[in-house]
Amino acid sequence: MLRVSDLREKEIVNILDGRRIGFIGDLDVDVQEGRIRALIVLGQGKLLGLFGRDDNVYIAWDKIVKIGLDVILVDMPSLETPCLEDELS
């Protein structure tokens, strides 16, 4: 069994370029179907958070390749245009 608290401790890594995306900040859950739609990596704070944050990165559940002991491997072709919440529908 895997708990949300376990997921939040795993770093997300893109297998296409080896880039470390970050850690899970939130989940997008479809309560009607009872499934997780996406992992949400919160944007990095700019200058100690005084100047806002970068955009959040939404990783659709079907982009997950493997959930390992320490990392979650994802197949994200482009992080320059992160998946937005509207695209998950």
pLDDT tens digits, one per residue of 38-84: 999 987 655 555 665 567 889 999 999 999 999 999 999 876 545 55
Higher pLDDT, 34 or 48: 34
**Residues facing residue 74 across a β-bridge:** 14, 64
pTM for the full model?
Answer: 0.75
| In-domain check, residue 74 | yes
**50 lies in which domain range?**
4-78
| In-domain check, residue 8 | yes
| In-domain check, residue 85 | no
CA dihedral 46, 47, 51, 55 (to 10 degrees): 0
CATH number, residue 18: 2.30.30.240
Please state, in angstroms and rounded to a whole number, the distance separating the CA atoms of residues 89 and 48: 33
What value does the mean pLDDT take over residues 1-22? 90
Count up the domains in the chain and report the number: 1
Identify the residue whose tokens are 């859950």.
29
Residues 6+ apart with CB under 8 A from 8: 23, 24, 25
Please state, in angstroms and rounded to a whole number, the distance separating the CA atoms of residues 29 and 61: 10
